[in-house]
Amino acid sequence: MKYFYVGAAPDVDGQVLTAVRERMAREFRVPVRELELPRIEFALDPGRRQYGSIPVLEMLARVCPADGLKLLAVTEGDLFIPVLTFVYGHAQLGGQVAVMSLARLRQEFYGLPPDRETFIERALKEALHEAGHTFGLVHCADRSCAMTLGTNIRQVDAKRAAFCASCAAYLQRRNREGALRLRES
Amino acid sequence: MKTHWQILVVDDEEVMCESLAAWLREDGYQVDTAASGREAVEKARERDYAIYFVDLKMPGGMDGIETMMQVRRLHPDASIIIITAYATVDTAITAMKEGAQEYIVKPCNPEEISLLVNRIIKVKNLQRENTILRKKLSRQYSFHDVISKNSKMRDVLRLAQEISGLRSTVLIQGESGTGKEMVARAIHQAGDRAAKPFVAVSCAALAETLLESELFGHEKGAFTGASQQKPGKFEMADGGTIFLDEIGDISSKLQVDLLRVLQERCFYRVGGSEEVRIDCRVIAATHVNLQEAVAAGTFRDDLFYRLNVIQIRIPPLRDRREDIPLLARHFLERLSHELGKEVGDLSEGALQVLIDYNWPGNVRELENALERAIVTCRGRELTEENFSFLVENSRGPRRLEIPAGMSLAEMEKLLIVETLQRANGNIKESAAILGIDRSTLYEKIKKYEIPR
C-alpha cells in the first residue's frame, strides 16, 4: 500500500494541514498520512531572510517514507529559488516530493485584516497545484484551473481549488495506467 | 502551444541554472541547461532554441555578452535574455546594443519573468504564423519565382503556363526591368524542357560580329584569335530554351541569320561549312515596340512575324502597384539573407513610399532600391528614411551635374541616359525631348553602349 504523505513541522497551522490532507485524499483517491518534519532552518538564506526551496526538496527526498507515493510538505517559511524573489511552492515535476509555503497566502501579508476562509482556500489551491506537478501536470492555460501559474495573489485568488476537465482527465489516465502497471507487476 | 518552444538556460551556478530550468519546465517548456558559454554555443549548434537565458558573468573566457554574440551568429532570430546579479546601466546598455531582447536582474519577480517569456513566445508564434501565411500567399501568387496578384500579370502567367509545353517561339515585350527573363525562365521551367539548358543572351551587350560568333559559334581559324572550335549559344541550348534578350537591337545581317534558324532550325558556325541542326525553343524579348521598328524599317517584318507566334506583354510595375508590397517583402526576405543583415520588416510608411513611387526601372529598380535600403538600414525594420533617395529621385526635373573636365561626348551620353530614365525608356518620347529623330537616338545609344 502506498500513501500520500502531508508533512509539516510542529509550528504549522493545524487547521490548514487537516484541510489539505482531506482534500488530497478526495482528489487523488489515495490514503493520506501525516508526517512530522524537522524545521527548515537549514535552508534559511540570512541575506534574503527566506528559505531556499531546493535544499528543502532535497531534504524531503531523503526523509520520504518507503511507502510514500508522494510527500507534500507545508511550511510557514517564505520560499525562494535563486533566480526569483519568491515562490509559493516548488515540486519535482513528475517526481515524489513538493513543498508549499503559507507565508504569502495570509491576508495579513498584504496589510489586510485576517480572513481564515480565504487563507485556507488559497492553501488548498497551492496544495493541489504542487501535488499536480508531482503527478506530471504542467501549468494550465485555463485561468480557473488549480494548475494555472499564479505569480501574484490576485492570480491565486482567480483560480479555483479544482482541476479543469483537461488536467483532471490527465490525472485519471495516469491513475488508470498506474493501476494497470501495479496489476501487471 | 508552449511545448514546441525550447529554452536554453546558461549559468555557471548549477543551482541557479537548474532552479530556473525547473520553474520553466513547470510552465510547460522544454528546457535544456548549459554550465558555460562554450557549452551553450555547442548546444545552439545542435538545436535552435527559441529563448536563451544567459547569465552575464561567467568564467572561462566567455561571458554572457560573448555567448550571446556567438549564439546570434548561429541563430539571428533567437531571443536572448541576459540575467545578472550586478545591475549597472553600462552592462544593460551593452547587452541591449549587442542584441539582447531583455535584461533582467536576479532575483526577479516571478510575474515579471512569466510575462517576459509569454510576450516573447507570443511574438514568436505570430512570427511563425506570419511566415507560414506569407509562404502560402507567395505560393498563391507565384509561378516559378514570378510573383504577382495583378489580374493582367496573372493572365500573363496563366498564358506562360499554358504554352510551357509547346515549342512555339515566344515574344515577350515589356519595359526594362519588368522581369522578361524571369518569365522566360518560368516558361522553360514549367515545360518538359526544364531538365535541359536555359541559355540567355543579351543581344544589346555585344557588337555585331561578336554576337554572331556568340550565337552560332565558330570554327577554328574563323577569325584572328579563334584558336579552336567553339559552340555557340544555340548549340548550348540544344534540347532546351534560348532566350534572346533585346532582340530589337540586332543588326540587319543577324536578323537574316536568325530568320533562317527559326525557319529551318539549322545554321552554320562562323567560318564553317557544316550545317548544325538544333532543337531548341526560342524565346525573344524586347523593350522596344517591334511593330514600330518594323514600320520604321529598322526590323524585318518576316522575322517579327516568326518571333511573334505567341506574344506576351508584361505590364510595367506602375500599372500593377498591388504587387509592390508582395515583391518588396519577397526581395526583403531574400536580400537580407544574402546580405547577412537582420532586417526583417517594412514599416507602413516605407511601404507607402514604395507604392507611391513611379518605378521607371520597374521590378529591377525595386529590387535595387530594397538592396540599397537594406545595406544602409541600421535597425531591424526598413522605414521611409531608408527610401529617401526615391523621394529625391521623383521630385521634378533633376539637375544634371556636369563635372569640370567632362568631354562633350561624355556629356551627351549623360544627357541621353538621364532623358531615357525620365521617359521610362520610351525612345519616341526621349527623341522628342532631345529634339532628334529616333534613328539618331538609336545610333547614339549604340555608339555610347547605353544599356536599356
Q: What is the dihedral of CA A18, A21, A26, A27, to 10 degrees?
A: 130
* pLDDT of A182: 47
Could you identify the residue written with the cell 544589346? B204
Residue A10, phi then psi, degrees to nearest 5: -60, -20
Mean pLDDT value of segment B231-246:
91
The answer to whether residue A86 neighbours chain B at the CB level (below 8 Å) is: yes
Return the minimum-mean-pLDDT range out of B176-180, B212-216, B252-256, B340-344: B340-344
Residue B21 has pLDDT above 80, yes or no: yes
CA angle B261, B265, B269 (to 5 degrees): 60
Mean pLDDT value of segment A117-145:
94
Q: Give the Cα separation of B83 and B66 in Å (integer).
A: 14
Q: What is the dihedral of CA B341, B345, B351, B353, to 10 degrees?
A: -40
- Contact between chains at B26 and A85 (C-beta distance less than 8 A): no
Return the minimum-mean-pLDDT range out of A12-16, B246-250, B400-404, B411-415: B400-404
Tell me the pLDDT band of B139, cut-offs 50, 70 and 90: low
Which has more pLDDT, B240 or B144? B240
Which has more pLDDT, B62 or A181? B62
Q: Give the Cα separation of B307 and B193 in Å (integer).
A: 19
Helix (H, G, I), strand (E, B) or coil at B359: coil
The answer to whether residue B13 neighbours chain A at the CB level (below 8 Å) is: yes
Q: Give the Cα separation of B51 and B113 in Å (integer).
A: 12
Give percent of chain A with pLDDT exceeding 90: 86
Mean pLDDT value of segment B383-403:
72
Tell me the pLDDT band of A129, cut-offs 50, 70 and 90: very high
Which residue of chain A has the CA closest to B15? A82
Return the minimum-mean-pLDDT range out of A35-49, A52-66, B263-277: B263-277
- Give pairs for B398-403: CB < 8 Å, separation 24+: B398/B422
Tell me the pLDDT band of B396, cut-offs 50, 70 and 90: low
Residue B137 has pLDDT above 80, yes or no: no
**Identity of the highest mean pLDDT range in B58-67, B163-172, B333-342:** B163-172
B347 near B373, Cβ under 8 Å? no
Q: What is the mean pLDDT of chain B?
A: 85
Q: Give the Cα separation of A126 and B63 in Å (integer).
A: 38
List CB contacts (< 8 A) between B113 and chain A: 83-84
Q: For residue B306, give every residue at least 6 positions away whose Cβ sits within 8 Å of its Cβ, in sequence order, or none.
A: B169, B259, B262, B263
Q: Give the Cα separation of B2 and A180 in Å (integer).
A: 30
B19 near A82, Cβ under 8 Å? yes
Residue B1 has pLDDT above 70, yes or no: no
* pLDDT of B394: 57
Q: Give the Cα separation of A94 and A179 in Å (integer).
A: 17
- Contact between chains at B111 and A80 (C-beta distance less than 8 A): no
* pLDDT of B285: 95
CA angle B165, B168, B169 (to 5 degrees): 125
List CB contacts (< 8 A) between A97 and chain B: none
Q: Give the Cα separation of B20 and B117 in Å (integer).
A: 12
Name which of B218, B196, B197, B214 is nearest B205 in CA terms: B214
Would strands A89-91 and A97-101 be described as parallel, antiparallel, or unpaired? Answer: antiparallel
* pLDDT of B334: 85
Mean pLDDT value of segment B10-37:
89
- Element housing B407 (H / E): none
Residue B252 has pLDDT above 70, yes or no: yes
Q: Give the Cα separation of B21 and B29 in Å (integer).
A: 9
Which has more pLDDT, B446 or B208? B446
* pLDDT of A179: 55
B241-258: burial string, b at 16+ Cβ within 10 Å, e else: bbbbbbbbbbeeebbebb
Distance of CA B197 to the CA centre of its chain: 22
The answer to whether residue A156 neighbours chain B at the CB level (below 8 Å) is: no
Give percent of chain B with pLDDT exceeding 70: 93
The C-alpha of B60 sits at a distance from chain A's nearest C-alpha, in angstroms, of: 22
Would strands B102-105 and B79-84 be described as parallel, antiparallel, or unpaired? Answer: parallel
Residue B92 has pLDDT above 80, yes or no: no
How buried is A57 (Cβ within 10 angstroms: 0-12 exposed, 13-18 middle, 19+ buried)? buried
How buried is B200 (Cβ within 10 angstroms: 0-12 exposed, 13-18 middle, 19+ buried)? middle
The answer to whether residue A152 neighbours chain B at the CB level (below 8 Å) is: yes
Tell me the pLDDT band of B206, cut-offs 50, 70 and 90: confident
DSSP B220: T
Return the minimum-mean-pLDDT range out of A8-12, A150-154, B91-95, B433-437: B91-95
Size of interface A-B (CB pairs under 8 A): 61
* pLDDT of A98: 97
Residue A185 has pLDDT above 50, yes or no: no
B168 near B191, Cβ under 8 Å? no
For residue range B112-128, what is the model confidence (pLDDT) as tens digits? 888 899 899 888 888 88
Return the minimum-mean-pLDDT range out of B144-153, B303-312, B438-447: B144-153
Mean pLDDT value of segment A146-150:
93
Tell me the pLDDT band of B204, cut-offs 50, 70 and 90: confident
Q: Give the Cα separation of A94 and A49 in Å (integer).
A: 29
Q: A27 catalytic, yes or no?
A: no
Residue B76 has pLDDT above 70, yes or no: yes
Q: A38: cis peptide before it, omega within 30°?
A: no
Q: Give the Cα separation of B191 and B170 in Å (integer).
A: 13
B107 near A82, Cβ under 8 Å? yes
Q: Within a 13 Å sphere around the CA of A175, how many CA atoms are in the beta-carbon half?
A: 11
Mean pLDDT value of segment B45-59:
90
Mean pLDDT value of segment A139-167:
93
